[in-house]
Amino acid sequence: MTAELTGPVTRERRLANLRATLARGSGPAGPDPLPARAPFAGRRSPQLAARLAAVLGADVADTPDGWLVRRVLAPIDIPVDRERLARLPGHPPADAPLVCLDTETTGLATAAGTLAFLVGLARWDGGAFCQTQLLLPDHADEPAMLAEIARWVTPDAWLVSYNGRGFDWPLIEARYRLAGRAAPVHAGHLDLLPFVRRVFRHRMEDARLRTVEGELLGVSRIGDVEGWEIPGIYLDVLRGGPVDALAGVVIHNEKDVRSLGLLLAHVERRYAGRDARHEAPRGDLAGLSRAYTRERRHDEALECLDDAMAAEAPVRDPFGRSPASRPLVREQTAEDEWWTARTQPHFGGRPPRSGWRGELANGRGGSLGAAPGMAPWDAGARWTDERLAAERARVLRRLGRWAESAEAWQTAAAAGGPLGAIAWIEVAKLREHRLGDQEGALAATRAAWRLLERSRLTGRPQPRLEADLDRRGRRLSARVRRRAGAA
């Protein structure tokens, strides 16, 4: 009886306490408002801001959100024809303002512990490239920098960065969220890193901005600060260390932002118009064609490939031979070194189990070798005539020009070997399924078989391709015999 009375009394007492707690609340439940005061608006550091401004030749701005060191550079002339630039794939429209952005941070993460202490911004005023750098004297002054960035990034503006889509801007958005503010809205983001990789990676060691400056812009940095040194330099300044070392970081950021403007002008001048592409390397035009293809602009992609095939092939040696020539001794590539094993080495122990292990496992090659496909045509850095013809055949196939695509594949088949066999297989597919030419498809299959026979005799068999051609040849032969019998 006692237990029965205790239970309801305890529940009623708890409900009464809960009602009293809710009554003392601020009001009815609803959407969480933004905090009235940013969590970083704590102590301020005017002394450090003055020291930084004196060393860097900058000004100190005392804003309601905190102190901010602002360095305004003299405008430089970087003309960019926006109408021509808008023709390139992925580039902003001609009427959109461009804001170049680059950050220097205390780390390489985009989580709460990483801070952008230096932000370089730039925009065009006519043909003049105007740069401004924002430097944090202390962590507590971050709201002042966020407010200044919001004044630069307007809803109709496009951001221009280098790897900014994956690092710089997500980090800035995270800092806005931590400060209880909404990140600025912009119309688009032009990240030049994917464009550089797609168009220029065939002739560069890597896609770092410093490499791009040397290979494309002819700019070399002397005495530049390395990226891994930058976080330590800034943290040492906050601990009371010398301020002079931070000047190198500011100059590094200044050059990064300026390189964005120079790279954009270089791309517009050399690749935006077809009249200027005759001086570009054929590999650049092939990469630009793929950029157009990604946006389904196949006519522009075909123009780039036609210009690439009309361009003169680069000279490879003093005898005037080009990558498209057929030397007496086959040139070795990175995928075909002299020490490449022809068979799987045996080191003892248990044999490997079958299944989804390895790149050639479970029907994707196995003991028969690599499966036939178009991936081998994409390997290597050299754009030969045959590889350009294969790329052109793909674009023609997307445009529905089947006969011209088959002719382009026949040109690509001059590469010989497995690549030539794959090209003849593509010819057979087009003739059989698109052109209705069964006899021609069978002839293309026989041509591919002859190339594989020659490859097998030289010690490089392709069992997977041979099995594919065997099935295709039997099917086409049966169809041709049935058609002849019906006739």
pLDDT at 6: 53
Which pLDDT does position 333 carry in this prediction? 38
List the alpha helices (DSSP H) in 375-416: 385-398, 402-412
Return the structure tokens found at 283: 């590999």
pLDDT of residue 394: 95
Helices (H), 314-382: none
Q: In terms of Cα–Cα distance, which of 324, 274, 265, 269 is closest to 301?
A: 274
Domain limits, the chain: 46-272, 411-487
Strands 116-125 and 76-77: unpaired
Distance CA 451, CA 377 (A): 16
Domain 46-272 belongs to what architecture? 2-Layer Sandwich (3.30)
Q: What is the rounded distance in angstroms from the CA atom of residue 43 to the CA atom of residue 142?
A: 12
Contact call for residues 456 and 480 (beta carbons, < 8 A): no
Contact of 335 with 380, CB cutoff 8 Å? yes
Stretch (H or E) spanning 348: none
Q: What is the model's pLDDT at position 150?
A: 96
**Count of other CB atoms within 10 angstroms of residue 414:** 15
For the chain, the maximum distance between any two Cα atoms, rounded to a whole number of angstroms, is 109
Query: Closest Cα partner for 172 from 200, 146, 202, 134?
Result: 146
Q: How many CB atoms lie within 10 A of CB 44?
A: 16
Beta bridge partners of 101: 121
Classify residue 288 by burial, with Cβ atoms within 10 Å: 0-12, 13-18, 19+: buried
Q: Estimate the crossing angle of helix 385-398 against helix 298-310, to 10 degrees.
A: 160
pTM: 0.77
pLDDT for res 334: 39
pLDDT along the chain (487 residues), means of 10: 55 82 58 42 68 92 92 96 95 96 90 90 95 94 95 97 95 94 96 95 91 92 90 91 92 96 96 88 94 95 94 61 37 40 48 42 43 62 88 96 96 92 95 94 95 91 91 94 85
Strand positions, DSSP E, 174-331? 188-191
- What are the φ/ψ torsions at residue 454 (nearest 5 degrees)? -65, -40
At 327 the pLDDT is: 32
Helix (H, G, I), strand (E, B) or coil at 20: helix
For residue 304, give every residue at least 6 positions away whose Cβ sits within 8 Å of its Cβ, in sequence order, or none: 277, 285, 286, 288, 289, 292
Which pair of tokens denotes residue 471?
A: 């099935």
